[in-house]
Amino acid sequence: MRYFRKLYWIIIISGFLFVLPVKALTISPAKALITTERGDKQNLSIQVYNEGAEAIVIEPVVLGYRQSRDGLPLLDQDIGPAEKWVVFSGSSFELSAGGEQSVDFEINVPEDAYPGSHYLALGVKSSAPTGQVGVASQLACLLTLQVAGTAVEQLDINSFQSAGVVWYKDWTFQVRLKNNGNVELPLSGVIKILDKKDKIVDEQEFYFGNQLLAGAVRNLTPTWSWGEKWLWPGIYQAELVIDYGLTRQQSISNVNIVYIPVWSLIGVVFLLVVIIGLIYFLKRKRK
């Protein structure tokens, strides 16, 4: 019995100690920007480095990329028409340990290409040579391809909402933005709090994320904290003001907030108790 226990633990420990060789793959550059005219031909070379201890098989890949609603890049096929403009020389090849090689991509922009920014992920995927075991990986250079033409900067605030009635001094908003233009937009802005006379009570700057790609939607949940500042109960208006694009245009949206702090409810209850008690006392006195 002890023999089988020892054998069991030897097998388990050996399983942890036995690992596959690490195949470190890197590329350069990680990002690129190309400005071009319609009907032009552009080239992009990506340098591939095998920093692992064994040879790997490299295959060029062409993908599109877009932003998630959290601002993260999502890579996939058939995201945009620009993927069909790209061709690459050769096919798969074997890259020896410690070796490097360039992969060349050719971008043929059609005459009827839509002006503005197009987003591509040009890169490589790796695998082990035939008959060997290894972990596949994929790396890509994120390319912004700007086609000359009229740049349209248009940001729409699709949604700006609050909880409606709030009891505490931390107010959370739900914001949904959409870039309806044809170029990426840098964003900055503030949320202002106004009273019932439209007087600004306070304002705070918020971070709305990195550049919003053309056609992308972004969801945000900024939280306004009053901290130790005094604030009377009442109806307030929150105004979202976002500056966007190189032309620094503005997009504005408003939402109402009813602020009823807990202490005010306690005060109302106490006042009601006093009034009821006073009425009861006066009735007793008349009798």
Look at 70-74, 124-128, 153-157, 266-270 and tell me which has the smallest mean pLDDT.
Answer: 266-270
| Cβ–Cβ under 8 Å, residues 209 and 188 | no
Is residue 245 scored above 50 in pLDDT? yes
Banded model confidence at residue 72, pLDDT cuts 50, 70, 90 = confident
Nearby residues of 104 by Cβ (< 8 Å), 6 or more positions away? 43, 44, 45, 88, 89
Apex 47 CA angle, 44 and 49, nearest 5: 160
pLDDT tens digits, one per residue of 48-70 = 999 888 888 999 999 998 888 88
Which of 15-24, 125-134, 177-186 holds the top average pLDDT? Answer: 177-186
- Spatial strand order in the sheet of 25-28: 25-28, 41-50, 100-108, 86-88
Higher pLDDT, 62 or 14: 62
Look at 13-22, 50-59, 146-155, 267-276 and tell me which has the smallest mean pLDDT.
Answer: 13-22
Average pLDDT, the chain: 84
Q: Considering the entire predicted model, what is its pTM?
A: 0.71
Integer angstrom CA distances of residue 224 from 59, 96, 119, 157, 203: 49, 55, 34, 18, 9
Banded model confidence at residue 130, pLDDT cuts 50, 70, 90 = low
Domains and CATH numbers, the chain: 22-147 (2.60.40.10), 155-265 (2.60.40.10)
**pLDDT score at 122:** 94
Is residue 129 scored above 80 in pLDDT? no
The span from the CA of 211 to the CA of 244, in Å, is 9
